[in-house]
């Protein structure tokens, strides 16, 4: 992957893919990541899948020699899977990719550019900032907007989509960062902690093809939303 900052050494990209029970979509998702041909390593962390996903890994491994696969012995939550992936990553940039086809790897170039060109150390891909987007459920969208508003009020920022999967970090932002979240509260915790450390988040519009709950969407709006609010408040006033 090229580096537009003028330095001789190109920046390397680690794509981290947390996976839990994605037997229908995993292979197609990884094929899309491979096809973009920007990742120097693709780190898959299986978070205790029980639906046959694990049987697909020989086929997945054969897609590219850049793929490595790691396993949790039981389901520990998305946050834990992401942090396991970060712990295995060796790139200069870390990018989180879900395995459910909601997010399109063809957006990688615009996600990476602000870091490659030295404008920022953190980029979020916003589903609510003008990109082509499949219509969300009304209350799901309101929930996302509310959590982002809470983030903006508590941390004095102007984000449009705190809960997005597409979070991209220069590796030194994450290295040494203590993240305690096990599940979806990873999103507010990592956002809180990088903002408190003085990093400014650069947003770019992305495409979004949200799936429905009967298609396997895993987030639980009320329960996970409540945890997200508590996480935002807690880390505003503690470390």
Is 5 domain-assigned?
Answer: no
Residue 53 belongs to domain with CATH number: 3.90.550.10
Is 104 domain-assigned?
Answer: yes
Range of the domain at 189: 13-237
Q: Which carries the bigger pLDDT value, residue 129 or residue 229?
A: 229
pLDDT tens digit string along 26-38?
999 999 999 999 9
Total of domains in the chain: 1
pLDDT tens digit string along 134-175?
666 677 788 889 999 999 999 999 999 999 999 999 999 998
Is 2 domain-assigned?
Answer: no
What per-residue confidence (pLDDT) applies to 128? 87
Q: DSSP letters along the chain, please?
A: ---TTS-SSPPPEEEEEEESS-TTTHHHHHHHHHHH---SEEEEEEE---SSGGGGHHHHHTT-TTEEEEEESS---HHHHHHHHHHH--SSEEEE--SSSSS-GGGHHHHHHHHHTTS-SEEEEETTSSS-BPPPPHHHHHHHHHHHHHHHHHHT---S-TT-S-EEEEHHHHTT------STTHHHHHHHHHHHTTPPEEEEE--B-PPPGGGT----HHHHHHHHHHHHHHHHH--
Is 23 domain-assigned?
Answer: yes
Is 6 domain-assigned?
Answer: no
pLDDT tens digit string along 188-217?
999 999 999 999 999 999 999 875 544 444
Checking if the pLDDT of 4 tops 70, the result is no
Average pLDDT taken over every residue of the chain? 90
pLDDT tens digit string along 52-110?
999 999 999 999 999 999 999 999 999 999 999 999 999 999 999 999 999 999 999 99
Is 8 domain-assigned?
Answer: no
Is 29 domain-assigned?
Answer: yes
Is 1 domain-assigned?
Answer: no
pLDDT tens digit string along 115-126?
999 999 999 999
């Amino acid at each position: 992957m090229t580096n537009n900052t003028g330095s001789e050494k190109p920046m390397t990209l680690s794509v981290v893919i947390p996976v839990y029970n994605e037997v229908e979509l995993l292979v197609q998702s990884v094929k899309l990541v491979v096809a973009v041909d920007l990742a120097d390593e693709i780190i898959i962390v299986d978070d205790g899948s029980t639906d046959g996903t694990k049987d697909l890994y020989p086929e997945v491994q054969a897609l590219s020699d850049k793929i490595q696969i790691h396993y949790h012995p039981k389901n520990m939550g998305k946050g834990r899977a992401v942090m396991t992936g970060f712990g295995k990553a060796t790139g200069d940039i870390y990018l989180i990719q879900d395995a459910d086809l909601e997010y399109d790897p063809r957006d990688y170039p615009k996600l990476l550019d602000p870091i490659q060109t030295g404008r920022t150390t953190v980029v979020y891909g916003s589903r609510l900032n003008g990109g082509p987007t499949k219509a969300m459920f009304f209350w799901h969208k309101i929930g996302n907007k509310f959590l982002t508003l809470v983030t903006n009020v508590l941390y004095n920022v102007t984000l449009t989509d705190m809960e997005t999967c597409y979070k991209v970090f220069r590796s030194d932002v994450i290295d040494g960062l203590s993240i305690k979240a096990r599940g979806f509260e990873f999103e507010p915790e990592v956002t809180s902690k990088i903002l408190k450390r003085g990093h400014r988040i650069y947003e770019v519009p992305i495409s979004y093809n949200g799936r429905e709950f009967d298609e396997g969407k895993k987030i639980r709006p009320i329960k996970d939303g409540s945890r997200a609010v508590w996480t935002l408040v807690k880390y505003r006033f503690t470390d």
